[in-house]
Structure 1
Amino acid sequence: MTVRQMITVALATVLLTGAGGTPAVAGAALTGAKHLPAADVKHRPDAKHRTTVEDPAQYVNPFVGTQQGAIDFGNGGGAGNTFPGASAPMGMVQWSPDTVTYQHGGYLYSDQRIRGFSLTHISGAGCGDYGNIPFLPILGDSPVGHESFSHDHESATPGSYAVTFDNGLRTELTTTQRSGVARFSYPAGQRASLTVDAGRAFNSASGSVAIGTDSISGYTDGGGFCGSNNRYRIYFTAVFDHPFTRSGIVQDGRLDTGRRTASGESRGVAPQPPRTAKAQAELAGHRGPGLALHPDAPDTGSGAQALVSFDTSDNPTVTARVGISFTSAEGARANLDAEQGQRDFDQVRDGTRAAWNDLLGRIAVGGGTTKQQRTFYTALYHSFLHPSVLSDVDGRYPGFDGQVHRTDPGRVHYADFSGWDVYRSEMQLIALLAPKEASDIAQSVVDQGAQAGYFDRWTLANGGTGVMVGDPLPTIAAGMYAFGATDFDAAGLLRLALAGRSDDRERPGHAAYDGQGYLPVGTSGIWGSAASTLEYNTADFALAQLAGSLGDSADHDALLHRAAGWRNLFNTDSGYLQPRDADHGWPSFQPTQQDEYVEGDAAQYTWMVPFNHRGLFDAMGGNAAVVPRLDSFFEKLNAGPDAAHSYLGNEPSLNTPWTYDYAGRPDRTADVVRRAVTTLFSDAPDGEVGNDDLGEMSSWAVWGMLGLYPQVPGRAELVLASPLFPQITVTRGNGPSIDISAPGASADVRYVHGLRVNGTASTRPWTGSELITDGGTMEYQLAADPDPAWGHDPQDAPPSFDVGPAQSVTGQVTGLAGKCLDVAGGKSDWGTPVQISGCTGADGQRWTLAGDGTVRALDRCLDADHSGTADGTVIQVWGCNGTGAQQWWPRPDGSLYNPSAGRCLDAPHSRSADGTRLQLWDCNGTGAQRWTMPH
């Protein structure tokens, strides 16, 4: 098949830092790295060839994810947990219907009873929060708990929502970022009324309400996400175009027309699964959902519920304009006035749809089926519902220190960071398409850390929750920086993140992690010692990349070495990354165990070394062993958290389909990714098989349908599958463009047989930074049958990043009295002692400092006997196995440090006699531990 058509994709301001290299590349220096063919790196395809899509909002179905798409595995449900209501991109106001039967997100598609339209929501979380201040239009003088409806009389599209109740009352909603407009159309001949409850949310809440002649205002206090103690306050003001003919406070189901103000509280309805280390510890080994996932909300109000009525005899439609603020009552009104002005409902709705079209249109896909287009644009839509604007139009916002702060002019402060989820691919997508907003998001992360004194893992409104594990917020900012969103205090971020590495609030178990190179089983404050170790490794790697970009080589090197801690969990006997005891022993183990992992098992987490697949694969036995193991893993795509197969309905498995690219089988990546995006995602309400996690799962689907993925957190190389669509154009607005064409691409036509980059043939299943920053073209030749040869050469694999030199160095290693490090007798048998001896130039004295942090001679690795860590452990040569026992890191004082043991290579008692066998010993800076390495 000859590729002829070329389509432009403008990935404007993306700053992908230099990429490339041999299959194992040390650090971030990438010395000697290969780059993409440079035939025409500043190629600019003619604009007339670019793909455009008119009104991409027409392809979005906001109901996707509101109905269960798979079984509930106990990690938040089997649905996307999205909501269908009105929202601007990353809006503060997300005005949406809430059904009587609760589902995280507030709306369960199978329940056709609406209990209110609340002003705030979270899309896709596995726990509940927000759902504040529900409005419910009703008929008559008495409050009701809910109204029924049919989906035949309901519609939703980006920026607006509408439903007609079975009683004929119609509600239409639209929003700006910080305000909303509602139209309530009442049937003739009945009293038109409405309730507003300031003390009700999905969780326990309290609030205060005040009724004017044509307005309702107040505030609500909420929180409790995942059972945490986070709290926030939301102020609101609602102004109606009809004066009230009757009003009062609802108390115990009755209307008291003599009251104009009230305070009240309500119990929450949202189940709160255990998503913190403390909550997990209290489970005492129990697994599964634990709580009823879909309880029915009570019909009663909070005591801070207002009921007002209108005269609609002349005009049956009542319009309500609402503003909210997390800062002040004045801020709520100012947000309303500034963002709506004199515009009517239709103008606000059309303006918000235009904003969505501008954003959605930054990726234009051509060809494909209507279902595929709807699935794609719905996923892109869900990717941009969060993070959410927190600052008012004047820049004021509540900080994590309880004080009111103000952004710099022209900037926005954002909230709601599902850190453990979104660092993987969503924040990179936002940085790709909206670099200005991404810079503000990254600065918001910095501000959160500065105000709180540490970086939390999962933040909501103006507080941390402690939910999930790892250290993801600095990783988010580092990733955005790599993708070109650099207009924020990156140096401040790095400074705060380095301090946070030693803060128990940010990194529980940090002393053990830094001291032993991993988190032992039983470490206090830790949920999932193995999973948390791997998360810390990833965070350290991303921070290392940021440090390198900022010219901080010392912190870059130190962090990169910390990121290698995964080797301390690799058990060469089992081939898995396993939990480990404090004494370096291995507790009993099963690959399908969830204990010491987080929402997954060992079979799934063992692949989670996204920055060094080459090192991991070599430890597993090389590509020949890895590929069939991956094949078995992907026999099922969404098998759940305690299976030997993939669990693509949750985050820990998301990077794994792309790992085939590193093992020389990109055809398998193309197959698995295509199967996933066409079977696990759809354009129907049940079109997601796991909770969307504020857009992370949707962003993965977007990347998967593009055939590109940001595999390595903190860097901007993209690994390849293949495009689902024949034509794709991504634009960012700053000039560079990449034209992707894939004639014939479809659900079945998925395998790459050829690729031309900037007009030059390429066999690499990844792209480097020069393609993105300078622009160019990608022309695919696809077919329905695999081509195992394309991308198979190990030299074409995407770069992995390790701790050794970028280019291996070979020579003598000398120590005391100028004696050489020597393999006894020049033997290569496993277990042969390593000693010091007079230098002879023999092969047993020729040591190679390898890129993976090992020191090698005679095709064997310098090794601590039986992975010992105690003083006096003897040193030998052994088959290279990728474990921490074979890591030897040269330090400035000349010592060779073994991170697994926390000890140094040592000549016992400073003896320099020939044949002195070497050992591990506490690092002491003596000459017995000083080694001169080859250069």
Structure 2
Amino acid sequence: MRPSLRIGLALTASLSQAQDLTQYVLTDTGDTGGGNTFPGVSLPLGMVKLGPDLYTGSDSYSGYQADGDFIGFSMLHESGTGGAPKYGVVSQMPVLGDIENPLSDQSINRSVADETRLGYYKSSLVNGITVELGATGRAGMFQYVFPEDSGASNVIVDVSHVLPSYRGQGLGQSYLGGNISVTTLETGVRYVGSGSYDNGWNRAPEWTVYFCGNFEQNATFRTFLGADAENDTLVDYSDATSQASEVRLGAVFTFNTTEVTSRVGVSFISADQACHNVDTEIPAGTSRETLEDDVKTAWTDQVLSKVTTTDTSNTTKLQLLYSSLYHLLLIPTNKTGENPLWTSSEPYYDDIFTFWDLFRSGTPLLHILQPVAYEEFIRSLIDIWRFEGFMPDARSSFFNGATQGGSNVDNVLADAYVKGVRGAVNWTDGFSAMLTDAETVPPNNNDSRDTSSSTKEGRGALPDWIDLGYITTKYGRSVSRAIEYAGNDFGLYQVASGLGLDSEAEKYLNRSRQWRNQWNPDLTALNFTGFLGPRDEDGAWVDQDPLSCGGCYWGDDYYEALPMEYSFNAHHDMATLIDYSGGSDAFIARLEAMFEGGLSDSNSQFNYTLFNPGNEPSFTTPYLYNFVGRQDLSVKHSRFVADSYYSPTPAGLPGNSDAGAMESWLLWNIIGLYPITGQTTFLIGSPWFADLTIDLGGGKSLVVTATGGDDEGAIYVQSLQVNGAAWDKAWVAWEDVFADGGTLDFVLGSEPADWATGEAPPSPATKTS
């Protein structure tokens, strides 16, 4: 081990002990303004995410809204998702006074803003009730304080409670049935049961959650049944100890005390397992403060301490760093041991939203920061293929979907393979799973958003891709799928090459170049000629404005991004793309056109006209200047995107978090590198801190230092040393700084410098066959 790496690891250990890194985690970052993040309580990749559910008449994707009325506090949520809400199940709702009908509207507003910090959540209701929450991986705690002399203290357990959706399109969750049984204990009450539901953003069929709840105080109770799942008419409201039905049901617990504590476990296997989860993770008598301390310790040891710095002068930067690390690791969910569909010795991960969002910068960062979990994640993806026939591009409640573009799980596997992930991964099966995506047309699931082919899994437009070498307007998202299919096939080339499968490697390398067949050399915009464009079913070009994508939705030719944005996305074949764009100078001019009009003279505003920082197809674009000798412009634009669109505030994201995708982009910006997924290449940016140590696991670390960057605006690289040697390339490889650790020593200044005079970053698909 290099001496500098030993110093870096020692520094990491001392810093994590000396600093309380949790103070910089603002759990409400991005929970308003469309960020949709979850501000409640969760462990890293934890199954339980305990938090509030609020109603405003619009979708509450993570359950949370800054305004509106509380309709419950539930055990399961996701973070940063869109499409439609998911989960919001296993709920409790505190209510004062006599309850004539628990199915009627029990919603209520807050009296003050909710209080949230790592491991803790508190809501204060206008009727004087306070709710405090704590959680473990598979259990949670509710602590209620009811006001004195305000009537009975009640908690409603509504098995039929889900997060509602108002978008239609068959995405809204439905309650399908359940059961609940109540047992009075010597001290307290226990209730067990299950609820079955469907849909959410991935259009899942029926899935079942089991619960086991404990109240530590004595209570009387009444169970209830409704007329059906859609209205609030009571059929039965009695002291029956058990109810089971396809209609709404639950129980009301009434206490003669103002302080009530509830401990609840959940499971997707059985009620017995839910009871085991709560009894082992939150035994009777556990304090909420203990849970909070345990959550802080888990996040510190497993996540926050992986990235440390001695440069603590700027609190805002520290909050952005550690809050982003937090939100990156909320999902996917580690449900190993909780998969009801099959028995396997492999790990199981769920709640993947979505590889279309995550493959560019999210999963490469997960690999670096969580190598053990990442290997398990890869194994889980392959195991899903073994039992279900396709790997997921998105998955939740044990069901694949929705696939927005290509089979981008192939990019994720390719990235893991070329960066040396081996361990217990069966790469023969892994490549077979990738071959399924590349060669097998998935059955059409007749999604109303796009009935042309499957949105559940795989590549629905394969018939055109295989037979024609491009994708026609017969299929929704034809152009954006074509550029993604090309990247997916490049992923197969990478893995086939590594496995010594020469004929397969050659085949998929050639197919990865088929994006060129989607390049219309006659499309024009902003005085530039040549863009990715649609072709009709006869192969003829369709006229297209490169600055418009129509509805930018499932049935359109481009999904959630402009043709001009997608026209920068052949990252495996950049030399060809630059040539098609008119050469290096023209390519620089095209990139500049994406950002024109954004910078004011004072740099106090930044309002790009075409570049969309909330669009994942634009994530890599600011860094593409590195391919054409203008690394300084990569720094200029990427740094100003970060400075202008991100802040450690509730509205501090440029758009939907997309399960940590936005946060991962920012984290790479902070580090001063950017990954090209499926390759070993990292494009060089500009680091934020004077020093940053990244624990890579296995006794290895990457230490990044920067001198000369103390002054505002001193963001441009003047020189760089990699592992102590002068460096003249605008990129590094995995082997340089990550495989065995390494050092990056930057000198920064306020003016651009022509330091990156070496060879351009690789363009591996451009070589002749």
Write the distance in 1 (CA, Å) between the matches of 2:305 and 2:430: 32
Opposite residue 97 of structure 1, the aligned amino acid is P
Question: Does structure 2 retain, via aligned residues, the 8 Å contact 1:579–1:586?
Answer: yes
1:349 has 2:292 as partner: yes
Decide which of 206, 215, 221 is 1:240's aligned counterpart: 215
Matches of 1:458 and 1:47, distance apart in 2:
36
Query: Residues 682 and 263 (structure 1 numbering): CA distance in 2 closer, same or farther, change over 3 Å?
Result: farther
Residues 327 and 46 (structure 1), Cα distance of their counterparts in 2 relative to 1, 3 Å cut: closer
Structure 1 residue aligned with 2:170: none
In 2, are the aligned partners of 1:45 and 1:737 still within 8 Å (CA)?
no
Judged with a 3 Å threshold, the aligned counterparts in structure 2 of structure 1 residues 232 and 481 are, in CA distance, closer, same or farther, namely: farther
Q: Per-residue displacement from partner, 1:870-891 (whole Å, max 9, x unpaired)?
A: xxxxxxxxxxxxxxxxxxx5xx
Change (3 A) 1:554 1:528: same
Distance 1:603 1:195 in 2: 52
Q: Which moved more, 1:134-143 or 1:615-624?
A: 134-143
After superposition, where does 1:126-165 map in structure 2 within 5 Å?
Answer: 126-127=82-83, 128-142=85-99, 143=102, 145-152=106-113, 154-165=114-125
Q: 2:200 aligns with which of 184, 209, 225?
A: 225
**What's the CA shift for 1:378?**
1.3
Q: Which residue of 2 aligns with 1:114?
A: 70
- Deviation sequence 1:421-448 (CA, Å, 0-9, x none): 1111111111111111111111111111
Distance 1:59 1:605 in 2: 36
In structure 2, what is the equivalent of residue 703 of structure 1? Answer: 668
Greater Cα offset, 342-351 or 651-660:
342-351
- Tell me if 1:471 matches 2:407: yes
Using a 3 Å threshold, how does the CA distance of structure 1 residues 57 and 380 change in structure 2: closer, same or farther? Answer: same
**Aligned partners of 1:781 and 1:42: how far apart in 2?**
18
Alpha-carbon deviation of 1:46?
Answer: 5.8
- Counterpart of 2:253 in 1: which secondary structure? strand
Pairwise CA distance, 1:345: 2.5
1:317 to 259, 270, 274: 259
Query: What is the letter of the counterpart of residue 243 of structure 2?
Result: A
The one-letter amino acid of 1:405's match is T
| 1:723 corresponding residue in structure 2 | 687
Q: Which residue identity lines up with residue 656 of structure 1 in the other structure?
A: T
Aligned residue for 2:176?
206
8 Å CA contact retained: 1:368, 1:724: no
User: Which of 417, 436, 444 is equivalent to 1:499?
Assistant: 436
Q: Distance in 1 between matches of 2:627 and 2:215?
A: 60
Cα deviation digits, residues 1-26 of structure 1 (max 9, x gap): xxxxxxxxx9xxxxxxxxxxxxxxxx
Partner residue in 2 for 1:288:
none
What's the secondary structure of 1:181's corresponding residue? strand
Give, in whole Å, the separation in 1 of the partners of 2:564 and 2:3.
41
1:929 is aligned to: none
- In the other structure, the counterpart of 2:700 is 736
- Alignment partner of 1:774 is 2:740: yes
Report the alpha carbon displacement of residue 782 of structure 1 after superposing the two structures with TM: 0.7
Q: 1:259 aligns with which of 232, 236, 240?
A: 240
Cα deviation code 1:88-135 (max 9, x no counterpart):
111111111111214442445430532111111121111221111221
Show CA shifts across 1:880-927 (max 9, x none). Answer: xxxxxxxxx5xxxxxxxxxxxxxxxxxxxxxxxxxxxxxxxxxxxxxx
Q: Distance in 2 between the 1:703 and 1:635 partners?
A: 24
What residue identity is the alignment partner of 1:698?
Answer: E
SS of equivalent to 2:76: coil
CA apart distance, 1:321: 1.3
* TM-score (normalizing by structure 2): 0.86
Equivalent residues, number:
698
Say whether residues 1:172 and 2:132 are aligned partners. yes
Q: 2:30 aligns with which of 65, 68, 72?
A: 65
Task: Please state if 1:372 is matched with 2:372.
Answer: no
**CA contact 2:355–2:408 (8 Å) conserved in 1:** yes
Q: Which amino acid counterpart does residue 439 of structure 1 have in structure 2? A: E
**Structure 2 residue aligned with 1:529, among 460, 465, 478?**
478
Describe the shift of the 1:484–1:117 C-alpha distance in structure 2 as closer, same or farther (beyond 3 A): farther
Q: 2:78 touches 2:351 (CA, 8 Å); kept in 1? A: no
Question: Is the aligned partner of 1:518 residue 2:470?
Answer: yes
Residues 762-911 of structure 1 mapped to structure 2, 5 A cutoff: 762-768=727-733, 769-787=735-753, 789-791=754-756, 793=757, 795-803=758-766, 851=767, 853=768, 889=769
* 1:52 to 2:15 alignment: yes
CA contact (8 A) 2:63 2:88 kept: no
Structure 2 counterpart SS, 1:207: strand
One-letter code of the match for 1:492? D
187-196 or 422-431: bigger deviation: 187-196
- Contact conserved, 2:329 with 2:660, CA < 8 A, in 1? yes
1:740-782 per-position Cα deviation (integer Å, ceiling 9, x unaligned): 1113436622111111112211121211123222222111111
The answer to whether the 8 A contact 2:224-2:238 is kept is yes
Instruction: Give a deviation string over 1:725-754, Cα, whole Å, max 9, x none.
Output: 222111133122222111343662211111
SS at match of 1:737: strand
**Structure 1 runs not aligned, ≥5 long:** 1-9, 11-39, 69-78, 266-301, 804-850, 854-888, 890-935
Q: How does 1:539-618 map to 2 (within 5 A)?
A: 539-573=488-522, 574-594=529-549, 595-618=556-579
Alignment partners' CA distance in 1, 2:23 and 2:578: 44
Aligned to 2:445: none
Amino acid at match of 2:260: V
Please state how far the C-alpha of 1:519 moved relative to its aligned partner: 1.0
Aligned to 1:86: 41
Residue aligning to 1:836: none
SS of equivalent to 1:226: coil
Q: Which deviations, in whole Å up to 9, do the C-alpha atoms of 1:811-842 show, x marking residues without a partner?
A: xxxxxxxxxxxxxxxxxxxxxxxxxxxxxxxx
Quote the residue 2:51 is aligned against: 96
Does residue 1:646 correspond to 2:598, yes or no? Answer: no
2:21–2:300 Cα contact (<8 Å) kept: yes
Residues 707 and 724, structure 1, Cα contact 8 Å, conserved in 2: yes
Match of 1:389 among 326, 331, 334: 334
1:249 aligns with 2:256: no
Q: Equivalents in 2 of 1:42, 1:110: separation in Å?
A: 46
SS in 1 for 2:131: strand
TM-score using structure 1 length: 0.71
Query: In structure 2, what is the Cα distance between the partners aligned to 1:368 and 1:672?
Result: 24
**Aligned-pair distance for 1:151?**
4.1
If asked which structure has higher relative contact order (CA below 8 Å, sep 6+), I would say 1
Against the structure 1 CA distance between its residues 463 and 194, is the aligned structure 2 distance closer, same or farther, given a 3 Å change threshold?
same
Superposed CA RMSD in Å reads 2.4
- Cα distance in structure 2, aligned partners of 1:417 and 1:449: 17
Is the 1:722–1:752 contact (alpha carbons within 8 Å) kept by the matching residues of 2? yes
Q: 1:559 to 1:784 in 2, by over 3 A?
A: same
- List per-residue Cα deviations over 1:613-659 (Å, max 9, x = no partner): 22211221111111111111022679xxxx97111112111111111
Contact 2:596–2:609 (8 Å) recurs in 1: no
Residue 582 of structure 2, aligned match among 610, 621, 630: 621
- By how many angstroms is 1:572 displaced? 2.6
Equivalent residue, structure 1, for 2:526: none
Say which SS state the counterpart of residue 649 (structure 2) adopts: coil
Label 1:46 to 1:159 Cα distance change in 2 as closer, same or farther (>3 A).
closer
Runs of 5+ unmatched residues, structure 2: 164-172, 227-231, 443-457, 523-528, 550-555, 600-607
Distance 2:233 2:653 in 1: 39
CA contact (8 A) 2:212 2:274 kept: yes
* SS of 1:431 mapped into structure 2: helix
Q: SS where residue 777 of structure 1 aligns?
A: strand
Q: What is the aligned partner in structure 1 of residue 157 from structure 2?
A: 196
What is the CA–CA distance in structure 2 between the aligned matches of 1:261 and 1:239, rounded to whole Å? 16
The code of the aligned residue for 1:559 comes to Y
- Distance change >3 Å, CA 580–CA 378, structure 1 → 2: same
Measure the CA separation in 2 of the matches of 1:224 and 1:592.
34
Report if the CA contact (8 A) 2:37-2:657 is conserved: yes
Instruction: Give the structure 2 partner of residue 669 of structure 1.
Output: 634
Q: Structure 1 residues 184-193 or 755-764, which shifts more? A: 184-193
